[in-house]
Structure 1
Amino acid sequence: MLSQVVSILFPVFALAFVGYCVGRWVKPDFGPINHLNMEIFIPALVFASLGAMPLEMEQAPLLIASFIAVFLPGLLMIPLSRIFNLRYRVWAPLQMFRNSGNLAIPLFTYTFGDIALAPAVLLFVVSSCAHICIGQAILSQSNPIKQVISSPMVLAALAALILNVSGIGLWEPLYEASYLLGQAAIPVMLISLGAQMCNLRLDGLKVGISCSLLSLFTGAITFTIVYFLVPLPTMHVQMLLLFTMLPPAVMNYMLAERFNMEPDKVAAMVLLSNFFSIATLPIILMVTLSLT
């Protein structure tokens, strides 16, 4: 089990290490690169994923559960931020938007087989679209509605959804082009994240541990509520347990860097929380597989 988790996480840290080396010795300006990723690569990934995803009524309970799993931690962070004197705009997105893409999708398929691919993509798309809309609204200090409406990611999601629901579907060459372009998003995110780690200081370890523990706490509460409120088949229950306990998504750093919301601290929390998941995921997987 541990070797399986390590094999999933290794590519993440390998690319982050490449980014660290680039940032330390080459020292490029990642501002334009991150902007290009947010405006082109990630919208292409969302467009291809949402446009090709099958939409069926049987997925409605999982859809409801995914919305609860994303938004409830944000509500939990309102009192927790006051109790622990945390900056809500910095800490709340890390609890709401977890690593549902490059970590969760392979984790789900390796654990449950190819039958888990469709619900895994659904969870990823819900989390990504919510991150695009709500995440930017939380972080933005300007007009959040304008930020959302003008976002290429939102426009890409709406276009793909219209094509999907209408039955028109994606033209195969357009899908292939979007999919190919979108594949650049995750490597660019990880390399940029690794480069940001050049600015990590000793206090980064403290916030990384704090974020990991907080993620487990808010995730456990969220899963408990989903478990008792939403009737789901066994595999979906197991997937939701994993989904609610995932570490933060890399895109949290991208948006924190874009809106200047303590990007150094967010980078530490994202990378270290994902690193600590090497220890926590095997335990969570054992609990998950025991659910019947």
Structure 2
Amino acid sequence: MQGVLSGFAVIAVVIGVGYVIGRRGFLGTQGSAVLTKLAFHVASPALLFTTLARADLSVVFSERLLVTALSTAAVAGVFVAVGVVRRWGVARTTIGALCAGYVNAGNLGIPIAVYVLGDASLVAPVLLFQLIGVTPIALTVLDLSTTGEKGPLWRRLLTPLRNPIALGSLAGVAVSASGITVPGPVMDPVTLIGNMAVPAVLLAFGISLRGSTLPLRDGERGTVLLAVALKSAGQPLAAWALAAGVFGLTGPRLLDVVVTSALPAAQNLYTYAATYGVGERLARDAILISTALSVPVLVVVAALFG
């Protein structure tokens, strides 16, 4: 359980520092917005490029990928179906669907994979699937639904190439697939910039908590509860059913996919919501509650399948 507690402790401390920064006004009234823009437009694309450029893409084509993709599609599909019926709007429904199925595979998933599963590479299929598949699609939907773009089809199809995070991900995949080795003088500054991404996201999230009401205190209660239920219970159950019932995974392989699916919603989802100006409270509350709930969920999963 050391890995679970260590991962959450690191996140809690940095978010706490952000909250103090917000309370003291060290970065002014626009501190959270500035850090969010820094993370979205500069640091996160650099981090995704360096991560994927060095990744072994062969790990994508595995049973773990299929379980991850299907369980993510299942919970996101449920949220989208409810959103369509309730008429929550495309952009808001997209943010909620991400909160229901997009796990914190980076700054929390990696330490948990190391300490709980014993191998950091086991989180790679989830990380790569989210970066290569989910992120470009979701951000393209947000781009089109929030700007109301009515241009020609070819221009709309090129939307991912105008999004910095999607562009960084695709560039990293291209470098990895081509086998090109990026020279140190080029990769090192990009890596240095990318190292700002996680702290910037967590600090911005902490600053955003200043002056905010407690979770589930406004009109987003229904959407938050649905997203949290799907993330904390629905996705781990779907992953377990698919892994054991469909793909016949047992032992450590079954533990791997259930643990990674039980990770909470990723903090960078708040960055996306804030950047596009939609579902910010939904993302913030869903991240907070799913992160708190994931501690007992991961403990139970490790006890049952470990």
TM-score w.r.t. structure 2 length?
0.82
Alpha-carbon deviation of 1:285?
1.6
2:195 pairs with one of 183, 192, 199: 183
CA distance in 2, matches of 1:179, 1:243: 25
Report the AA paired with residue 66 of structure 2.
I
CA distance in 2, matches of 1:57, 1:184: 26
- RMSD value, Cα: 2.7
The residue aligned with 1:51 is 53
1:276 pairs with one of 293, 299, 303: 293
Counterparts in 2 of 1:167 and 1:234: CA distance versus 1, 3 Å: farther
Counterparts in 2 of 1:234 and 1:164: CA distance versus 1, 3 Å: farther
Q: How does 1:173-212 map to 2 (within 5 A)?
A: 173-204=185-216, 211-212=227-228
Counterparts in 2 of 1:123 and 1:171: CA distance versus 1, 3 Å: farther
CA distance in 2, matches of 1:59, 1:85: 36
Q: Secondary structure at the match of 2:210?
A: helix
Alpha-carbon deviation of 1:181?
1.8
Report the AA paired with residue 60 of structure 1.
S
1:136 pairs with one of 132, 136, 139: 139
Per-residue Cα deviation, 1:61-110 (whole angstroms, up to 9, x for no partner): 33333322333321122334467886623421101211111111110111
Alpha-carbon deviation of 1:53?
1.1
The residue aligned with 1:18 is 17
Uncovered stretches (5+) of structure 1, i.e. residues with no partner: none
CA distance in 2, matches of 1:169, 1:73: 38
The residue aligned with 1:161 is 173
Q: Secondary structure at the match of 1:204?
A: coil
The yes-or-no answer on 1:40 pairing with 2:17 is no
CA distance in 2, matches of 1:111, 1:284: 11
The residue aligned with 1:64 is 66
CA distance in 1, matches of 2:18, 2:177: 39
Per-residue Cα deviation, 1:158-180 (whole angstroms, up to 9, x for no partner): 22222222222333443333322
Q: How does 1:256-267 map to 2 (within 5 A)?
A: 256-267=273-284
Q: Secondary structure at the match of 2:67?
A: helix
Counterparts in 2 of 1:68 and 1:56: CA distance versus 1, 3 Å: same
Aligned length: 286
CA distance in 1, matches of 2:166, 2:10: 28
The residue aligned with 1:77 is 79
